[in-house]
Amino acid sequence: MEICANCFKKSLPASPFCAYCGYPKIDIGLKRCGKGHIIYETYKNCPFCHHLENLGKTLVNQPAGENTGGTRTEILNVATNIMNPHNMDQQTKEITKPGPIDDKTVFETGTGDKTVCESDTHDKTVLEGETDDKTRVETLTGYLDKTVMEDEADKTILDEGTGEPLPPFFAWLVYVDEAGKPLQDIRLTRQKTVIGKSADADIRLNDPFASNLHAVIHFEGGKFFISDLGSRNNTWLNEKKIMNEELQDGDKIRVGHQNIIFKRVRRNL
């Protein structure tokens, strides 16, 4: 058993993150910039503040007394910035993410719920040269294809089944932190939007607790629905486990450890 340097709770050694607070337990090469942002060791300057000083301090594998803290959000921001084309020249081309992960690692949380951490190759090595073929837009936890999304914002969306044009709709997914502060928004411009860890998902999550194809949001008959795609850790809507539910404006979705708010224009346009 290992003890988390952040919350001091015991958890399974195979996991790269603490099952309770999400803090990284093993050496994944993180450090802090002079202003305190958590970034990868390979960065020469901080992507958040471009601070150049005091970059040699490694965060993890340090005694608990020297722990400088850090939130899960900051760590996710680090993961996101790996794919940020603005940082590509400032870092090595290939960055290895959290070390050895078992194929299926089961965590038992304090409430008795079991969550399963799936690993796949997408998470271990991040996207060397992926920005070459398409202009991709990174989100907090993944990326969208910018070209496609911009084009689709102006187009009439056709029903995938009938081919008839769908009524115009405006809907967004807003990623929020634990305190509910919005971190990023994504406009839904397709009839079906798949959320998951896989590169095949429309919205990619950098979350070990998300499945490759975790959930899908689809628009049908003027309503939005969310369906779980057989994910291991389930899809949660307003803190209830769901399989297929209609989405209402302001609903709170949880996929893996990501909190998402669904917003839509309710008027008929």
Q: How far is it, in rounded angstroms, from Cα 160 to Cα 15?
A: 41
**Which of the stretches 59-67, 95-103, 117-125, 142-150 binds another protein when contact is defined by CB under 8 A?**
142-150
Please list, in sequence order, all residues whose beta carbon lies within 8 angstroms of the beta carbon of residue 37, skipping any fewer than 6 positions away. 46, 48, 49, 51, 74, 77
In residues, how long is the chain?
269
Shortest reach from residue 185's CB to another protein, in Å: 6
Closer by beta carbon to another protein, 77 or else 234: 77
Residue 266 interacts with another protein (CB under 8 A): yes or no: yes
- Partner residues linked to 174 by β-bridges: 185, 261
Going by C-alpha positions, the residue among 141, 156, 150 that lies closest to residue 74 is 141
**1 versus 269: smaller Cβ distance to another protein:** 269
Nearer to another protein, 2 or 185 (CB): 185
Residues 174-213 contacting another protein, CB under 8 A = 174, 181-187
Interface stretch with another protein, choices 11-19, 141-149, 194-202, 227-235 (CB under 8 A): 141-149
> Which residue from 150, 159, 160, 200 is in contact with another protein, where contact means CB under 8 A?
150
What tokens appear for 64 in the block? 């608990």
User: Judging by beta carbons within 10 Å of its beta carbon (0-12, 13-18, 19+), is residue 143 exposed, middle or buried?
Assistant: buried
Choose between 25 and 136: whose C-beta lies nearer to another protein: 136
Q: Does 50 bind another protein (CB under 8 A)?
A: no
Which C-beta is closer to another protein: that of 146 or that of 240? 146
Would you say 226 and 248 are in contact if contact means Cβ atoms under 8 Å apart?
A: no
User: What's at 121, amino acid-wise?
Assistant: T
Q: Which is nearer to another protein, 43 or 107 (CB)?
A: 43
Asked if residue 243 binds another protein (CB under 8 A), the reply is no
- Closer to another protein by CB, 74 or 120: give it: 74
Give the shortest CB-85-to-another protein separation in angstroms: 10
Under the binding rule (CB under 8 A), the answer on residue 265 touching another protein is yes
**Near another protein by CB under 8 A: residue from 7, 12, 106, 149:** 149
Sequence-distant (≥ 6) Cβ neighbours of residue 38 within 8 angstroms: 30, 31, 32, 59, 70, 74, 75, 77, 78
Single-letter code of the amino acid located at 55: L
Region near another protein per CB under 8 A, out of 60-68, 126-134, 152-160, 198-206: 152-160
Cβ pair 22, 9 in contact under 8 A: no
Binding residue for another protein, selected from 154, 161, 164, 268, defined by CB under 8 A: 154
- How far are the Cα atoms of 82, 91, 133, 160, 263 from residue 87, in angstroms, in the given order? 7, 6, 17, 38, 31
| Separation CA 269–CA 266 (nearest Å) | 9
| Run of H or E including 78 | helix 72-82
Residues that bind another protein (CB under 8 A): 77, 80, 84, 137-140, 144, 146, 149-150, 153-155, 168, 170, 172, 174, 181-187, 261, 263, 265-267, 269
